[in-house]
Structure 1
Amino acid sequence: MHFDVFNGDADGICALIQLRLNRPLAATLITGIKRDIQLLDKFDVNSGDRITVLDISLQKNSARVNQFLNQGAHIFYVDHHQPGDIPKHPHLKTLINTDSAVCTSLLVNQYLNGKYPLWAITAAFGDNLNHSAEQLAATLKLSQTELETLKNLGIYINYNGYGSCIDDLHFAPDKLYREMTGFQSPFDFINDNHDMFTQLEQGYQEDMANAQRITPEYQSHAVAVFILPDTIWARRVNGVFGNFLANLNPDRAHAVITHNKDNDYQVGVRAPLSNKTGADELCSAFPTGGGRKTAAGINHLPGDKLNSFINKFEDFYS
């Protein structure tokens, strides 16, 4: 049996699309909302099973990786988050690069020798790696309209992955993947699924309009903190709103905070685009925190720790 395990955001989805265009096969899909990263806990394996894992932290899944390897499974693991100690095992193959200009789909694009670059460009835009996306696009001589279309699609797919549960999303990530996979290019998908694209676009624009009415809870020359209301639209938009703020003020770090159903907070941090580092270090100092250098988060921040977070955030980037 084969399992395809992937983050429910643009990077995870577009990485798997590339791999399955290159090598179609029947697989059990394991995915979830963007913050649902301990996906290996959702299934069990038998000896000889094969697992492809895309865009989730090896460090957060190390126990299950070791367990699966010991049970005789074969694992192909591609990611750009901090991996921790990578197991050495003949049944484990890894492509891991934590460079701030790299995402999982770009790694897959390199692995496949640039076979499906349009999907990698879409994912890079979704991960707010605009410069990396534009560099790859420059090799293809895309028009400005085509480039903007890929950028928008990447943003919309990424936006769709955020929420506290699947019901918050416009489309479950496995459904979105199934609708997108098989198309040689994102343009073919858009042409064939215009209603789905339009729904994502309209949802994104409405939610972003709501977010842009929110004033900062705390702001200095170094950081800004926004607390969004306890609504579904706020949980959907928190990630892309963080990217929007980062692009708007590239010298400032940003934190976007939403309410969890457990009566605590979920935090998304974006490092300054002029200094793409430290978001993972800052968030990892809190339980349930982690991520990558440019973008990281805390899944559960107790309400009484909010001021502590803001103080550490300010101190870290001042």
Structure 2
Amino acid sequence: MYYDIFNGDADGICALIQLRLAQPLEATLITGIKRDIQLLKKINVQAGDQLTVLDISMQKNIEQLKSSLENGATFFYADHHQAGDIPLHANLTTLIDTSSDTCTSLIINQHLQGQFPLWAITAAFGDNLHASAEHLAASMQISTETLDQLKNLGTYVNYNGYGSCLADLHFAPNKLYLEMAAYTSPIDFIANNQLIYQQLENGYLEDMHLADQVQAEYSGENCAVFILPDQAWARRVSGVFSNALANQYPDRAHSVLTFTPDNDYQVSVRSPLNNKTKADELCASYPTGGGRSAAAGINHLATENLNLFIEKFAKTYAE
């Protein structure tokens, strides 16, 4: 069996699009909401299976990875999140780069020697890596209009990945991938799928308008914390709202919390754009946390631990 396993955000989707445009393959798709990253647990891997894994933390999937390798499966694994100790195995090929200025789609773009860079640029914008996206675009002399289209698409597809369950999303990530993967260029996807594009754009703009009305729960010189209400729009917008705050206040760290159906908080953390550090360390100190140095999150934070989290968050970025 062939499996394509990927994060349900813009980076995971665009990474797989590039790879399958270059290396067509019929595979079973395994994905989910953006925070659903322990995807290897969803598969009963057998000897001889070949798995492509994109944009999910190896550290969070290490037990399943090791057992699958021992059972005779073969892996191609590309990612930019915390990896932990990477196993040395003949059946494991890795492209891991945890630098704060890259993402999985940029890693795949380099791996494919720039065959489909517009998809990589789209993903980089989605991951709020604007400087990296613009740097790659500059080498291609892309027009301002085209660059704006890629930026918007990346932002909207990334926005679509957030939620506590698939019902919160506008489109299930596997279905959105299939729609997008039919096109060599994201510009062609936009032109030929206006219904999908407009639904994503309208949803993004409506949800961001609601988020902009929320006042900070805590605001200090170096960081700010926002708590969004227990509504689907809030769960959808949490990540892109965090990115927007980071772009608006590049010297300040931000944390956006949303209520979950489990009566606790889901947390998005963004380090200052001018100091992309410590977000992963902060979130990894919690059992359900992880991410990368510039952007990370916690899937479940008990409500009674809110004040302690704010204190820890403020202390992390006070130095």
Q: TM-score band (shorter)?
A: over 0.9
- Distance (Å, rounded) in 2 between the aligned partners of 1:313 and 1:72: 43
Q: Is 2:132 the partner of 1:132?
A: yes
- In structure 2, the residue matched to 1:147 is 147
Distance in 1, Cα, partners of 2:76 & 2:182: 21
Find the counterpart in structure 2 of residue 184 from structure 1.
184
SS in 1 for 2:247: helix
In the alignment, structure 1 residue 225 sits paired with structure 2 residue 239 = no
Shift, 1:139, TM fit: 1.0
Q: In the alignment, residue 194 of structure 1 is paired with which amino acid?
A: Q
- Give distance in 2, aligned partners of 1:88 and 1:286: 28
The residue number in structure 1 matching 2:54 is 54
Matches within 5 A, 1:283-298: 283-298=283-298
SS in 2 for 1:37: coil
Q: Tell me the amino acid that sits aligned with residue 168 of structure 2.
A: D
Separation of aligned partners in 1, 2:16 and 2:182: 11
Using the alignment, how far apart are the partners of 1:88 and 1:108 within structure 2?
21
Alpha-carbon distance in structure 2 between the residues aligned to 1:58 and 1:237? 26
Q: Using the alignment, how far apart are the partners of 1:248 and 1:173 within structure 2?
A: 28
Aligned residue in 1 for 2:253: 253
What is the correspondence of 1:164-313 to structure 2 with a 5 Å cutoff?
A: 164-313=164-313
Amino acid at match of 2:105: S
The amino acid across from 2:271 in the alignment is A
Structure 1: gaps (5+ residues): none
Report matched runs for 1:22-33 at 5 Å: 22-33=22-33
Q: Deviations over 1:130-152 (max 9, x none)?
A: 00000000011111110000000
Partner of 2:68: 68
Deviation at 1:284, TM superposition (A): 1.0
Q: Secondary structure at the match of 1:267?
A: strand
Aligned residue in 1 for 2:10:
10
SS of equivalent residue, structure 1 residue 246: helix
Q: Give the match for residue 160 of structure 2.
A: 160
TM-score normalised by L of structure 2 = 0.99
With 127-136 and 139-148 compared, the bigger mean Cα shift is at 139-148
Matched residue, 2:94: 94
Alignment correspondent of 1:119: 119
Identity %: 64
Superposed CA offset, 1:109-162 (max 9, x none):
000000000000000000000000000000111111100000000000000000
Aligned residues: 318
- Matched residue SS, 1:121: helix
Letter in 2 for 1:98: T
Q: Tell me how far 1:233 sits from its aligned partner.
A: 0.1
CA offsets per residue over residues 294-315 of structure 1, 9 Å max, x none? Answer: 0001100001100000000011
Question: What are the superposed Cα offsets for residues 157-191 of structure 1, whole Å, 9 maximum, x if unpaired?
Answer: 00000000000000000000000003110011111
Measure the CA separation in 2 of the matches of 1:182 and 1:44.
29
Counterpart residue identity of residue 199, structure 2: Q
Let me know the Cα RMSD of the aligned residues: 0.5
State the 4+ residue runs in structure 1 displaced beyond 6 angstroms.
none
What secondary structure sits across from 1:163 in the alignment? coil
Structure 2 CA distance for aligned equivalents of residues 116 and 278 of structure 1: 32
Write the letter of the residue equivalent to 2:19.
Answer: L
3-state DSSP class of the match of 1:290?
strand
Give, as a single letter, the amino acid of the residue that structure 1 aligns with 2:239. Answer: G
Deviations 1:78-101 (A, max 9, x none): 000110000000000000000000
Give a deviation string over 1:42-90, Cα, whole Å, max 9, x none.
0112111100000000000000000110110000000001100000000
Q: 279-288 or 84-93, which moves further after superposition?
A: 279-288
Q: Secondary structure at the match of 2:266?
A: strand
Q: Distance in 2 between matches of 1:137 and 1:44?
A: 40
In 2, distance between residues paired with 1:149 and 1:37?
Answer: 28
Structure 2 residue runs of 5 or longer lacking an equivalent are none
Q: Higher mean Cα deviation, 225-234 or 182-191?
A: 182-191
- Aligned partner of 2:111: which letter? Y
Deviations 1:218-243 (CA, angstroms, capped at 9, x unpaired): 00011000000000000000000000
